[in-house]
Amino acid sequence: MNEATSPLEDFLQRIPKIELHCHLLGTIRKETMKDLARKNGARTTDAEIDAFYIRGDKPVGVLHIFRELENHIIQAPADLRR
């Protein structure tokens, strides 16, 4: 770190840039996703959230579920800290 950069700026320069492309919803634990969905009024079931986490072929409607989660899961700064 040089004197002109903050620790955060220095960190951002050093991390692998692939990390900048991580999708937030793909990094949330399934149980946290379920808790936040209930808390924030998402119109999804636990079974739909379970299906979201299955690798490989996705069931029909997964894009709808993804959008519902995206629009209703992260509603407050505290939700990001979970």
Q: pLDDT tens digit string along 38-47?
A: 999 988 889 8
Give residue 39's domain range: 23-81
Q: Give domain status of residue 14, yes or no.
A: no
Average pLDDT over residues 20-45: 81
Q: Give domain status of residue 5, yes or no.
A: no
pLDDT at 8: 92
* 21, pLDDT greater than 60: no
For the full predicted model, state whether its pTM sits above 0.75: no
Q: Give domain status of residue 29, yes or no.
A: yes
Task: Give the model confidence (pLDDT) of 49-82 as tens digits.
Answer: 888 888 777 666 677 777 877 788 778 888 877 7
Q: Give domain status of residue 38, yes or no.
A: yes
For the stretch 7-21, what's the b/e string if a residue is b when 16 or more beta carbons lie within 10 angstroms of its beta carbon? Answer: eeeeeeeeeeeeeee
Q: Give domain status of residue 3, yes or no.
A: no
Q: Comparing 1 with 17, which gets the higher pLDDT? A: 17
Tell me how many domains the chain contains. Answer: 1
Residue type (1 letter), 70: E
